[in-house]
Structure 1
Amino acid sequence: MAEELSLLGMWASPFSCRVKIALKLKGVVQYKYIEEDLFNKSPLLLKYNPINEKVPVLVHHGNPLLESLVILEYIDETWQGYPIFPKEPYERAVARFWAMFIDDKLLPAIRRACWGEEKGREKAVEEVTELLQLLEKELKEKEKRFFGGETIGLVDIVADVLSLWLRSFEEGSGVELMTREKFPKLSKWSHEFVSTSAVKENLPPKDELTVFLKNLFGS
């Protein structure tokens, strides 16, 4: 029931979007969504996540779960049906590696390239290019539509930052990072990913996102 499951999120957060996509893929549509203002955090958010006071927070039967990667694994183990993680232990480990690669290496580099200190931007752009080339290679070797194969999996969901968010980062900062010429596989993947109903239904408006990110990071 909806009252047994709540999601505290924020419309412009790719991390919150990941959880929405995962729930949609699992067919979980009855839950309460609570929009958070991260500049004026609610008592509920501070109660459930006093450690870092961030979204997303998934609350199931009164028990809060923090961090999007942890939440995605919990969702996959709790609800049957659509598999988010690979079944084989090795493949699961590989998927976790790429998910952490995106969060720990790629996303910070993208932020530095777009809105970091001026003197370090050129180096950051080079770093992003190198990291994107690794993902391009991974897709090319798989010869599949998605990182998860023929269907969206963990790495695809975590890579949501390379779809709408990366485009908004580029437009807001004027820095071009992922062109179709340099990254044909990633560009095709991005188009297929955002065209999937479970993803498309949970993405924020692009123009509003671009303005929000520019105001947040560009000031």
Structure 2
Amino acid sequence: MANEVKLYGVHGSPFVVRVKIALNLKGIKYEFVEEDLSNKSADLLKYNPVYKKVPVLVHNGNPVTESLVIVEYVDDAWKGGAPILPRDHYQKAQARFWAKFVDDKCMPALFKAIGSHGQEQAVAEVDEQLQFLENELKGSKCFGGDNIDLVDISATFIAFWVGAAEEALGIKVLNKDKFPKLAEWSDNFINCQAVKDGLPPRETLVAFFTRRFGKQA
């Protein structure tokens, strides 16, 4: 019980995968508790009574909710390995800003573009947001420079989920010619072992997007 770690989630959630990646980067062993979101467990409702959703990290009986909050908690609670957030106060503030930008601007635009089957105006909105991230990479391997940081983890959906949606629906949302830095970052990021070990099978995501957004005959 000295260091009991449980993660409540579903394998296909990009928000849950954020936490898996953070735990993997820190080398933390944990128990994964698969939730059925149509029949939520008593534990999930107890540990996250406000939002009643995953992910929830429970560390020695203490629950932490919301994916980016959990990632920061993991970084603070386990000091081993490379830091996920910069130690410099200004750089830390910047990382938090861009991680929030991914959630507030990029994710809604991407879901809209996917849901519209790559409709031109929706993709143009995605392009506008992704250009900011393209500029922010500044030629670095990761948003955190040489090491994966909070922004990289927040953008996991862009690196892995978007490609699965494109395959499922036969659309193009992330233009690699327009965003070469983001395309290179995506390839490097998903091939990092700590990331790869946390990702769901691609075919599972392709099937999900086909079911949810595929055009009905």
Map 1:132-147 to 2 at 5 A. 132-139=130-137, 141=138, 143-147=139-143
| Shift in Å, 1:125 | 1.1
TM-score by length of structure 1 reads 0.92
Give runs of aligned pairs for residues 57-206 of structure 1, distance below 5 A.
57-81=56-80, 82-116=82-116, 121-139=119-137, 141=138, 143-206=139-202
* SS of corresponding position for 1:163: helix
Unaligned runs of 5+ in 2: none
What is the alpha-carbon distance in structure 2 between the residues aligned to residue 158 and residue 203 of structure 1?
14
In 2: Cα distance, 1:158 partner to 1:164 partner: 12
Aligned-residue Cα RMSD (Å) equals 1.8
| 2:12 is equivalent to residue 16 of structure 1 | no
Do the aligned partners of 1:113 and 1:175 also contact (CA within 8 Å) in 2? no
- SS of the residue aligned with 2:155? helix
Structure 1 residue ranges without an equivalent (≥5) = none
3-state SS, counterpart of residue 151 of structure 1:
coil
- Contact 1:65–1:71 (CA<8 Å) still a contact in 2? yes
Cα offset for 1:196? 0.5
Paired position in structure 1 for 2:49 = 50
Q: Secondary structure at the match of 2:125?
A: helix
Residue 2 and residue 22 in structure 1: after superposition, are their counterparts in 2 closer, same or farther (change >3 A)?
farther
Provide the rounded CA distance (Å) in 1 between the counterparts of 2:141 and 2:104.
24
Between the two proteins, the alignment pairs up a number of residues equal to 214
Higher helix share: 1
Over 3 Å counting, the alpha-carbon distance change for 1:48 and 1:124 in structure 2 is same
The TM-score, its normalising length taken from structure 2, stands at: 0.93
The residue type equivalent to 2:51 in the other structure is: N
SS of structure 2 residue aligned to 1:64: strand
Contact 2:19–2:67, Cα closer than 8 Å, also in 1: yes
Rounded to whole Å, the distance in 1 between the matches of 2:174 and 2:83 is 29
Query: Greater shift after overlay, 44-53 or 64-73?
Result: 44-53
Amino acid at match of 1:110: L
Identity rate, percent? 52
Alpha-carbon distance between aligned partners in 2 of 1:47 and 1:58, rounded to the nearest angstrom: 12
d(CA) in 1 for partners of 2:28 and 2:205? 26
Give the secondary structure class of the aligned counterpart of 1:161: helix
Instruction: Measure the CA separation in 2 of the matches of 1:59 and 1:68.
Output: 13
